[in-house]
């Protein structure tokens, strides 16, 4: 067989290929967040990783509208010392998995 095939390579090799396709490096980040979907539904979970272009939200909640292509707002607080510590990342859902949701950032406010 010529080329790369997922069943002929180890998990480590497959992970490296996926990482090489990323637009930006991911960094582990453990923070509790909420995702407000465009249809008004809300899901809560924990960030597992974040980059300058997206994040992965670990959640078992599956509200109506949590589907690929849906847009929403990822909200969380960072301890900044001021009263305005909430950060909003407008995003799109490119992938939903059993363990969570991949998010692609559209803008930050």
**Consecutive sets of 10 residues in the chain, 109 residues long: mean pLDDT of each?**
46 47 73 92 92 92 87 84 77 93 89
As for how many domains the chain has, the answer is 1
Rounded CA separation 101/3 (Å): 29
Asked if 35 contacts 74 with a C-beta cutoff of 8 angstroms, the reply is yes
Asked if the structure places residue 52 within a domain, the reply is yes
Rounded CA separation 34/89 (Å): 11
Q: What is the pTM of this model?
A: 0.72
Asked if the structure places residue 16 within a domain, the reply is no
Asked if the structure places residue 17 within a domain, the reply is no
Domain that holds residue 45: 24-108
CA atoms within 13 A on the CB side of 1: 7
The DSSP bridge pattern shows strands 100-108 and 86-96 to be: antiparallel
Asked if the structure places residue 6 within a domain, the reply is no
Asked if the structure places residue 4 within a domain, the reply is no
pLDDT of residue 69: 93
Q: Give the domain CATH number at 58.
A: 2.40.10.220
Asked if the structure places residue 15 within a domain, the reply is no
**Distance from first CA to last CA of the chain, Å, rounded?**
48
């Amino acid at each position: 067989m010529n080329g790369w095939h997922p069943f002929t390579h180890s998990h480590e090799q497959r992970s490296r290929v996926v990482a090489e396709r990323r637009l930006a490096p991911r960094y582990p980040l453990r923070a509790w967040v909420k995702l407000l979907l465009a249809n008004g539904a809300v899901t809560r979970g924990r960030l597992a990783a974040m980059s300058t272009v997206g994040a992965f939200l670990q959640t078992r909640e599956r509200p109506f509208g949590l589907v690929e292509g849906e847009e929403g707002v990822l909200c969380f607080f960072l301890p900044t010392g001021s009263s305005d510590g909430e950060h909003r990342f407008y995003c799109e859902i490119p992938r939903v998995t059993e363990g969570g949701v991949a998010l692609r950032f559209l803008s930050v406010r």
